[in-house]
Amino acid sequence: MLTTMSMKNAYLLSVMDDLKVKSAHEPEFLQAVEEVLESLEPVVETDPRYERQNIIGRMVEPERVVMFRVPWVDDGGKVQVNRGYRVQFNSAIGPYKGGLRLHPSVNLSVIKFLGFEQVFKNSLTTLPMGGGKGGSDFDPKGKSDGEVMRFCQSFMTELQRHIGPDTDVPAGDIGVGAREIGFLFGQYKKIRNEFTGVLTGKGLSYGGSLARTEATGFGLCYFADAQLRDNGQSFAGKRVVISGSGNVAIYANQKCVQLGGKVIAMSDSNGYIVDENGIDYKVIQEIKEVKRDRIKTYLDYVPSARYVEGCSGIWTVPCDIAMPCATQNEIGENSAKTLIANGCIGVFEGANMPSTPGAIAAYQAAGILFSPAKASNAGGVATSGLEMSQNSERLSWTFEEVDAKLKGIMEGIYAACAAAAEKYGMKGNIQAGANIAGFLKVADAMLWQGI
């Protein structure tokens, strides 16, 4: 017996043990699976079909994994090679859907954990989207536009064989924003000679959706607001710390302030800034989206602010609400305990799997509010789903229309997670509720479709 978890169900334990052998070198993937399987215990025990049909064993195995060579020429004329990935995890409820990540830390374990999470997240949105994820260990930081374009063209030259508007629809993630999506779309169109909604997060002039850029950050705040209100709280007057300063973090800041909160700290991978007067998201937008510069240059705009080298110290800044919006495992057990000791009442996840299992245990022991990423950051993919709908209709909806739908979806996800948690005897445990509600729809579709 390899397992050390609190899980007791023999079927779930055997699936997990098997996976630990087969995926021994994939720690992030194992972490994500273990977290979900622990929540599914009461579900599996009340419906024998899941074990009989080996639904869990099938769900932890991706339907397809594509790994490929990505050669490209740098500005000096030298040939560089990166590794590309697309993991098509589960298509039971719709075409594979999930972002592409470009970051030196990308490997198969990271992409599999993200793809696995995506299956449950997409199910929670209630839209017809399966789960997938992709990316490369290419680092766009410090590269010229020409280098990024040549990389994206080479990446898509292979990826285009595996995707399509009814098969697999990638989007952005860390390191993939409007610039990269544009280059990827241009290459797809050139090779396939078709103008389709094969990617989301597109520019507005060629099929993008209004409010997609803001969607993950806005959605996170709509979700957090619903959870806070359900617990007799609100954003009003709260001191908020947001890690990261990318797409999710910037728009989480904007919506948080609109809802009455004050964002006092933000970060990038080098360090963090603290501004007790509140950080204006437009300044961060200018630094990160326009100038592609480092967050420490915030001091050029607001000299009274403070910059601290090293990103993990951001969780020592006393706050009421923490929103991790940078990357996986960025809050460990010690950081979680520091947040709690400093009076934090809730952690709402914008990044994927930003809290380690030790951190989650600390939140639960302290009884603070916690929203798991697969529920609270689902607004991005939900709005990607809305972009796909608009592309199919050949129509564009207004910002207000999309934003209203996003808000409704996020409130619906919160309600579904809360209801599932209560139904299975874990009232208030939104983490378990998210795993269960996300699972049930996918599992039901798999049962209907046979093996």
**Part in contact with ligand NDP (CB under 6 A); list of ranges 76-84, 172-180, 430-438, 442-450:** 172-180
Instruction: Establish if 434 lies at the interface with ligand NDP (CB under 6 A).
Output: no
Nearer to ligand NDP, 248 or 437 (CB): 248
Q: Which of 327, 355, 371, 429 binds ligand NDP (CB under 6 A)?
A: 327
Sequence length of the chain is: 451
Q: Does 87 bind ligand NDP (CB under 6 A)?
A: no
Residue 326 is a binding residue for ligand NDP (CB under 6 A): yes
399-423 vs 379-393: helix crossing angle, rounded to 10: 130
Instruction: Specify the pairing of strand 239-242 against strand 321-323.
Output: parallel
Torsion of CA 301, 305, 308, 310, to 10 degrees: -50
* Cβ contacts of 368 within 8 Å, gap of 6 or more: 340, 344, 345, 346, 347
Total residues at interface with ligand NDP (CB under 6 A): 26
Residue of 172, 197, 207, 346 interacting with ligand NDP (CB under 6 A): 172
Please identify, using beta-carbon distances, which residue of 18 and 139 lies nearer to ligand NDP: 139
The residues in 103-122 that bind ligand NDP, with binding defined as CB under 6 A, are 103, 105
Which one of residues 34, 225, 268, 275 is an interface residue with ligand NDP (CB under 6 A)?
268
Identity at 414, one-letter amino acid code: Y
Cα(203)–Cα(205) distance, integer angstroms: 6
- Closest approach of ligand NDP to the CB of residue 223, in Å: 12
Cβ distance to ligand NDP smaller for residue 163 or 325: 325
Select the span of 56-64, 171-179, 301-309, 389-397 touching ligand NDP (CB under 6 A). Answer: 171-179
List the 96-102 sheet strands across, edge first: 64-73, 79-90, 131-136, 96-102, 168-171
Give the residue, chosen from 94, 346, 350, 372, that forms a contact with ligand NDP under the rule CB under 6 A. 350
Residues 280-309 touching ligand NDP, rule: CB under 6 A, are none
Looking at the Cβ atoms of 99 and 346, the one nearer to ligand NDP is 99
User: Cα(21)–Cα(9) distance, rounded to whole angstroms?
Assistant: 19
Helix (H) or strand (E) holding 370: strand 369-371
| 8 A C-beta contact, residue 115 and residue 87 | yes
Catalytic residues: 133
Q: Considering the complex, what minimum distance in angstroms separates the CB of residue 380 from ligand NDP?
A: 3
**For ligand NDP, which is the closer residue by CB, 55 or 266?**
266
Q: Which residues are CB-contacts of 197 (< 8 A; sequence separation ≥ 6)?
A: 165, 169, 207, 387, 388, 391, 392
Considering the complex, state which of residue 168 and residue 173 has its C-beta at the smaller distance from ligand NDP.
173
Of 123, 125, 227, 247, the one binding ligand NDP (CB under 6 A) is 247
- Residue among 148 and 351 whose Cβ is closer to ligand NDP: 351
The two structure tokens encoding residue 347? 């952690």
**Segment lying near ligand NDP (by CB under 6 A), choices 52-60, 345-353, 363-371, 416-424:** 345-353
SS3 354: coil
Instruction: Report in angstroms the alpha-carbon separations of 32 from 17, 207, 445.
Output: 14, 33, 22
Using CB atoms, what's the residue nearest to ligand NDP? Answer: 246
With beta carbons less than 8 A apart as the criterion, state whether 382 and 128 touch: no
CA 11 to chain centre: 29
User: What six digits make up the tokens of 39?
Assistant: 């929540």
Instruction: Tell me the C-alpha distance between 186 and 336, whole Å.
Output: 43
Nearest to 117 by CA among 51, 175, 31, 47: 31
Nearer to ligand NDP, 309 or 394 (CB): 309
Interface of this chain with ligand NDP, residues 213 to 242, rule: CB under 6 A: 216
Among 168, 173, 180, 387, which residue interacts with ligand NDP (rule: CB under 6 A)? 173
8 A C-beta contact, residue 429 and residue 365: no
Site string for ligand NDP, 32-51 (x = CB under 6 A): --------------------
**Span near ligand NDP by CB under 6 A; candidates 9-17, 298-306, 347-355, 391-399:** 347-355
Contact at 8 Å (CB) between 123 and 436? Answer: no
Stretch that binds ligand NDP, among 88-96, 168-176, 228-236, 360-368 (CB under 6 A): 168-176
Helix, strand, or coil (residue 351): coil
Residues that bind ligand NDP (CB under 6 A): 103, 105, 172-175, 177, 216, 244-249, 268-270, 311, 325-327, 350-352, 377, 380
